[in-house]
A and B are shown apart, each in its own frame.
Chain A
Amino acid sequence: MSAPTPRLPSAAAATAHQRQWFADLHRDHTPGDPLALVNADAPQEVFRAMGIPYVVNQWWASIVAAKRRTQDHLARLRERGYPDYTEQYSSTALGSAFDTDPDSAPWGGLPTPSLVLAETTGDASRKIFDVWGAQPGVTFYPLESAAADTVPERWWELMPHRWEEAVGTDRLDLMVGELEGLIRFLEATTGRRFSEQRFTEVMALVNEQEEWNRRTRDLIAAARPCPIAVTDSIPAVMIPQWHRGTVWARDAARRLHDEVADRVRAGAAVCPDERVRLMWVGRGLWFDLDFYRRFQDRYGAVFVWSMYLAIAADGYIRHVDPDSGDPLRALAARFAAFSDQLYTPPWSAEWYVKEARTHGVHGVVHLVSDDARGSWATTRALRAAGVPVLELHADNVDARRSDPEHLDGTVGRWLEAEVLPRTDG
């Protein structure tokens, strides 16, 4: 038995930074000052450029879940007549708005935002934000979310430069119009200025950050054994992602890259007896992060992949032609089809297959929650490519339905029956 690899310093640093940032936000925020609550896939770069602080809705849900407070947050919705059974990942933060005891809340509680921003996806998600918008002092700014009749399959090759072709002109025209409206609205209601120069810097920093993530992803794909745990790569990627457009975030992505490169050079391993390389498809299991380690001792099975690093590598980079390009259109291209990359076939399905191949995985554990999108196509495409897939039916924040013993038993039986026979000998 070898000792497990120590926590990755950049993961620890990112977590510490997030704590400090949130404490500073609490200290500096005066109720009524501009503060946004935004969805993870919203165009945060506009707020960054204008100096308007924002909290990411799904990040907050993950904090609440990690503190095992999701249930009492959902109960507050129920008490007000709202459902506690739809899109819990998006509605958890709304439970914080109805907190009657903020002192006991995780991390000192969520300060009340002045603005909530979300795309009108799904049937319930815009309603969750309607309820936010009905709270005193809160404005809801909805953004359209458009869908394409046809899309090119290998989007990840087009996105960095040929995003117009990948996303489509109609969708981009719409999203640029939406962003111009948002900027004018923010200028008028916050008194902050939108500087095109500052915005160009922000967009350049984001591209640099995601380019570092891309190199990191490529290193991990090629490395045998796997040099870092997904539970380290998730915070080391995602926390900088929420701070994207800052020098700190760009440098954090570079630091992660350098640490991974060092580990690869040193032959460091999450599990030196690595026998099975696994891919985790779906959102993180926030209530049970230990899950990802539990198959190492018994099976030498390591989760080498989660979408968080991979989508940073492939899903964000949007270069702007320095002579003719419009950085606002590039930002529109970043988020107009963001969730399609992960959830809409053929984009999602073909991408997971590509990632499974480049990472040399032996199997995929696919988290299928009630609101999962495109899961049939993802599982089908992976299986058609010869990769065993276990569909795990659970909810990533609602632990009521995700008992660890059940999860472990299911994964263990699948490893023994389908994956190990293909790797031994």
Chain B
Amino acid sequence: MSAALAALLDPARTTADGPVAGYVGADVPVELLTAAGYHPVRLSGSPHEDASDGIGYLGGGLDPAACSVLTRLLHGGYGPLDVLVVSRDCEASLRLFYVLRELARVEPAVALPPLHLIDVLHLPHRTTTRYVRAKVRGLRGWLQQRCGHTVSGDELAAAVAAHDRVRGLLRAVGELRGQRRLTGTEALGVVAATTRLPVHRAEELLTALVAELPGRDPRPGHPVYLTGSSHDCPDVYTALEDAGLLIVGEDHDRGDLLSTMDVGVPAGAADVDALDLAVAERYQHNGPSAPRAAIAERAAHTAAALRGRGAAGLLSYVREHDDGPPWDFPAQRDAAGVPAAIVERQAYGLIDPSELDRALSALGVPAVVA
């Protein structure tokens, strides 16, 4: 294995670099956190831990990944967080925010970091841009209050440029997936690492990875493109790849979708207002994600991305209580032009073996006898 890949996939290498900003959801503008001097860490759940406390607050009808994040937060599972920023990338994140806000109001004994919602919306209209810009400004103002200094245009421009470089490198890693140089499970781990490492460390390791990978032998497996739910842990990827698939791309925001667009430092930048707007437009238009985008937009994106990676099949994996993806699937299947299958209402971190066999045969892959 390449040294950079090993370093990226080793979570023990993550050490906090200054005050830590935990965040929920891909709609949190991480460049603002970096510019304010925080080390942004994206919060993930775990299907291997009991999440009943989180389910108690969020209810049994909500994405178990969000219930897991809440449980971990309540039990201090992320270590000390100096602030917590929640986006509204999906309904579950918004409800998680509401529960946290209510807990802070009525149960002050529960230790929670200072909390802020960033309400990034996604309709492609000017009215939406103005709103998102106001929300970006609001987040910047709130962070400035907490960290005690005013973010300068230069600081924000530097943070934007750094995170854009990481996105560019992630896209380069994506190209290498098209050449089968790393598995989907590895790619998922690489993206995850970039959401918990300090941005400069992520950039160093990714730069090394992109230099090392072209020399690697192609990975085996039947190449498929994965759509449906987002994956905050590798279990399902591992199960799919153990069954003979190679996940060459995906359209969720813990994979390829995290880095489809850059912010871009506006010409003659260093003006914070111009940067706020650039950040707002990037987060408004990044996507198209399953919980937020139109069916037609998703189908077009999925079909194009699938062809770009040379996938021979389309698999939609949908976790229980993740309500958006099953509505996308019929149009994605029609647009894909390759065999397609869906497995729905799967338990968090698992894929039902008989559903997997059914999907494999629909995709034209012989079932692997375990």
Contacts and interface: CB of A to CB of B under 8 A. Distances in A.
Given A370-B60, A370-B61, A120 B123 contact: yes
Nearest to B296: A130
Q: Please report whether the interface of chain A is mostly helix, strand, loop or mixed according to DSSP.
A: loop
B199 interface: no
A130 B123 contact: no
Contacts, number: 129
Contacts of B121: 120, 144, 146, 174
Contact of B119 (A146, A368, A381): A146
Given A81-B329, A144-B123, A377-B102, A127 B295 contact: yes
Nearest to B321: A370
Given A181-B125, A381-B106, A147 B94 contact: yes
B75 interface: no
A369 to B, nearest CB: 7
Interface size class of A (residues with CB under 8 A): 35 or more
Given A81-B329, A345-B102, A142 B324 contact: no
Given A82-B330, A349-B102, A377-B99, A126 B130 contact: no
Interface centre among A80, A123, A134 (most CB of B within 10 A): A123
Interface of B: 56-61, 88, 90-92, 94-95, 97-99, 101-102, 105-106, 116-117, 119, 121-123, 125-128, 130-131, 134-135, 138, 290-292, 294-296, 321-324, 326-330, 333, 344-345
B128 A127 contact: no
Contacts of A122: 91, 323
Interface stretch (A83-91, A296-304, A313-321): A83-91
B330 A376 contact: no
Given A144-B125, A170-B135, 16 more contacts: A86-B323, A123-B92, A127-B295, A127-B327, A128-B327, A131-B295, A144-B121, A146-B119, A147-B88, A147-B119, A148-B117, A174-B127, A177-B126, A370-B321, A377-B106, A393-B60
Interface string A325-359: 00000000000000000001110010000000000
A372 interface: yes
A375 interface: yes
A136 to B, nearest CB: 15
B327 A131 contact: yes
Contacts of B106: 377, 380-381, 384
Interface of A: 80-83, 85-87, 120-124, 126-128, 130-131, 134, 142, 144, 146-149, 170-171, 173-174, 177-178, 181, 344-346, 349, 368-377, 380-381, 384, 393
A376 B58 contact: yes
B291 A123 contact: yes
B117 A149 contact: yes
Contacts of A131: 295, 327
B91 A123 contact: yes
A127 B324 contact: yes
B57 A376 contact: yes
Contacts of A346: 101-102, 105
Contacts of A126: 294
A371 B322 CA distance: 11
A405 to B, nearest CB: 22
